[in-house]
Amino acid sequence: MQFPKIIQGGMGVGVSNWSLANAVSRLGQLGVVSGTALDSLFVRRLADGDPGGDMRRGLDAFPFPEMAKRIWDEFYIPGGKAAGVPYPLMPMHQRRELRKVVELCIVSNFVEVYLAREGHKNSVGINFLEKVQMPHLPSIYGAMLAGVGCVLMGAGIPLHIPGVLDALAGLRPAEYRLAVTGAAQDADTAMKFDPADYVEGPLPVLERPRFFAIVSSNTLATTMLRRASGRVDGLVIEGPTAGGHNAPPRGKLLLNAAGEPVYGERDQVDLAGLRELGVPFWLAGGYGNAKSVRYALDQGAAGVQVGTAFAFTRESGMRPDLKQSLIAQATTGTGEVFTDPLASPTGFPFKVALLQGSYSDPEVATARTRVCDLGYLREPYAIEDGEIGYRCAAEPVANYVAKGGKVEETVGRKCLCNALMANIGHQQTRRGDLMEEPALVTVGDDLNTIAQFLAPGRTSYGAADVIASLLSLTTDAVAADSSEMVYATA
Ligand SMILES: Cc1cc2nc3c(=O)[nH]c(=O)nc-3n(C[C@H](O)[C@H](O)[C@H](O)COP(=O)(O)O)c2cc1C
């Protein structure tokens, strides 16, 4: 069995888009699209007039044309929406979804994976955050319809995803238990999805994608392998220097003088222990350089997962002005990264690049009026008579408190849903005196090292530059097309 040495990490929302994943997979490594909030992103791409016609091309390949037509007819705006007009919003996700929300998840995930697979035969992965549970089932189904080769999931403990993959590949309905704060142990909080309710014609035959769990410790790795509802094919072991959300330190939360979580010995992974588990593993968090790749391979890893280096490639979805500012900082070694213990409503530490004028700037954060209109990070909570309510610690404080949330939980929280849309140029415009949504860029601690990928005199680089550089101390130093990759699904 041959595995990719490099997994290009999933980067939501839309940073690891289809064009980045396509470029990486074409080069024989594992390109991974982010599946997070793809439904809302799809609506915004259509509202922008689908420049380039890529979404249309994906829809034309979608196996259920009536569903594709419903979505196109509702959201496509020829020539794009007028400047200053807000993007249309979908109803927020909930346990029992509206049919059109489910359809949008199926279609948008299909299109992203379809486009990432276009023109080559190598495997493509999709990444989801376990904590963003409500869109899981139809999103995974859409990705499987497009032949996704691997599902990767972290930010939570995705014990029940392997069983979901088995059910969907077996053409059976799938279930996923929604975590509901305050619900009784035996409360029925299952979300259900039966593909038969959505397909047009017979159920398409689907392959079961591989499943890689993203975890931060030996304990979680072992738990995944012992208790998951189906086969776990690999593990990504992500340390606290990685971009995006980080696992909190083990034990009591201590902050350093700058206010960042302090990680210690207990947060180190035991590589010998990992090797003993007998499944392939990839190391992540600060592995975006040739020496670290060599080290990981020498330690028995199948390879590395890298995010930050790929986030700034020409192919990624990050807004060009943000890319340029941060590449310029990296070039002079002045990029600064802050591990914010409060920003994310999930409660996990979230790494942000300090960038003036962005949401990391305290003035911008204070000036933003709290609005919650995307709602991916809303926490389901039990209300009387078995009903479920939804709240987010970054929503308007009075609303959160009225829903039983604690006021201290709201301090320092940032609206990641809107910020991450802004990072990729789909920021919501608001009417009246409300400001346009600000960006909040997440990067790993080794932001400044991305300057290594710039050829002399250049201010940008591509996915191929990153791959060639990372593999330069390995046996496949030439980033050859490894079409013999055994787990390619095409
Ligand atoms: C911009 C950005 C967004 C990210 N978003 C996600 C995500 O949505 N899901 C996820 O599992 N990991 C996410 N990550 C983590 C990456 O997949 C990867 O594991 C990590 O970046 C590796 O560490 P590095 O940044 O030091 O290379 C993100 C990282 C970055 C830089």
Read off the pLDDT of residues 8-49 as tens digits, 9 standing for 90 and up: 999 999 999 999 999 999 999 999 999 999 999 999 999 999
- Percent above pLDDT 90 for the chain: 94
Least confidently predicted of 146-150, 301-305, 386-390: 386-390
**Confidence band for 477, pLDDT divided at 50, 70 and 90:** low
Is any atom of ligand 1 closer than 6 Å to the C-beta of 129?
yes
Which residue's structure tokens are 């955050």? 129
> Is the distance from the beta carbon of residue 195 to the nearest atom of ligand 1 less than 6 Å?
no
Higher-scoring residue by pLDDT: 463, 385? 463
Residues 348-377: pLDDT tens digits? 999 999 999 999 999 999 999 999 999 999
Return phi, psi of residue 473, to 5°. -110, 20
Q: Which of 308, 312, 326 to mutate to test the pocket of ligand 1 (most atoms within 8 A of CB)?
A: 308
- Asked if residue 488 has pLDDT above 70, the reply is no
Ramachandran region of residue 300, left (φ > 0), alpha (ψ -120 to 50) or beta?
left
* Gap from CA of 242 to ligand 1 centroid (Å): 6
Task: Bin 251: left if φ > 0, else alpha if -120 < ψ < 50, else beta.
Answer: left
Q: Identify which of 249, 35, 39 has the alpha carbon closest to the alpha carbon of residue 158.
A: 35
Q: What whole-number distance in Å separates Cα of residue 378 and Cα of residue 37?
A: 13
Q: How far is the CA of 267 from the centre of ligand 1 (A)?
A: 18
Query: Cα(142)–Cα(304) distance, rounded to whole angstroms?
Result: 27
pLDDT for position 484: 36
Q: Work out the mean pLDDT of the chain and round it to a whole number.
A: 95
Would you state the pLDDT for residue 433?
A: 66
For 419-438, b/e burial (b = at least 16 CB within 10 A) is bbbbbbbbbbebeeeeeebb
Segment 309-331, tens digit of pLDDT: 999 999 999 999 999 999 999 99
Instruction: Confirm or reject: Cβ of 36 under 6 Å from ligand 1.
Output: yes
- For residues 24 and 3, is the Cβ–Cβ distance under 8 A? no
Cα 201 to ligand 1 centroid, rounded to whole Å: 38
Give the model's pLDDT for residue 485: 38
The pLDDT assigned to 475 comes to 85
How much is the average pLDDT of 439-458?
98
- Contact criterion met (CB below 8 Å) for 216 and 155: no
Ligand 1 midpoint to CA 63 (Å): 31
Q: Is residue 84 pLDDT above 80, yes or no?
A: yes
Report which ligand 1 atom has the smallest distance to the Cα of 242: 23
pTM assigned to the model: 0.96
Ligand 1 neighbour 31 (Cβ under 6 A): no
**What size, in residues, is the chain?**
490
Nearest atom in ligand 1 to 307's CA: 21
Residues 6+ apart with CB under 8 A from 293: 5, 6, 287, 303, 304, 470, 471, 473, 474
pLDDT at 482: 43
Band of residue 166 on the pLDDT scale cut at 50, 70, 90: very high
Q: Say yes or no: CB of residue 247 within 6 Å of ligand 1.
A: no
The token duo for 299 is 């330690």
Q: How many CB atoms lie within 10 A of CB 404?
A: 13
Report the C-alpha gap between 464 and 477 in whole angstroms: 12
Averaged over 71-81, what is the pLDDT? 98
The yes-or-no verdict on residue 244 having pLDDT over 70 is: yes
214 Cβ inside 6 Å of ligand 1 = yes
pLDDT of residue 479: 44
Q: CA–CA separation, 108 vs 114, rounded Å?
A: 10
Nearest atom within ligand 1 for CA of residue 239? 23
Report the percent of the chain where pLDDT is more than 70: 97
User: From residue 113, how far is each of 77, 283, 346 by CA, in Å?
Assistant: 23, 24, 27
Please give the structure tokens belonging to residue 257. Answer: 């003088």
| pLDDT (0 to 100) of residue 483 | 38
Nearest to 414 by CA among 329, 482, 346, 473: 346
Decide whether any atom of ligand 1 lies within 6 Å of the 246 Cβ. Answer: no
Predicted confidence (pLDDT) at residue 481 exceeds the cutoff of 50: no
Shortest-distance Cα residue to atom 10 of ligand 1? 10
Q: pLDDT tens-digit profile of 246-261?
A: 999 999 999 999 999 9
Whether the CB of 443 sits within 6 Å of ligand 1: yes
Ligand 1 pocket test: pick from 11, 281, 295 the residue with the most ligand atoms within 8 Å of its Cβ. 11
Nearest CA-CA partner of 155 in 212, 94, 214? 214
**Atom 5 of ligand 1, nearest CA residue:** 11
Q: Which residue has the tokens 């690049």?
A: 353
Q: Is 125 in the pocket of ligand 1 (CB under 6 A)?
A: no
The pLDDT, as a whole number, for residue 490 is 27
Is the pLDDT at 338 greater than 50? The verdict is yes
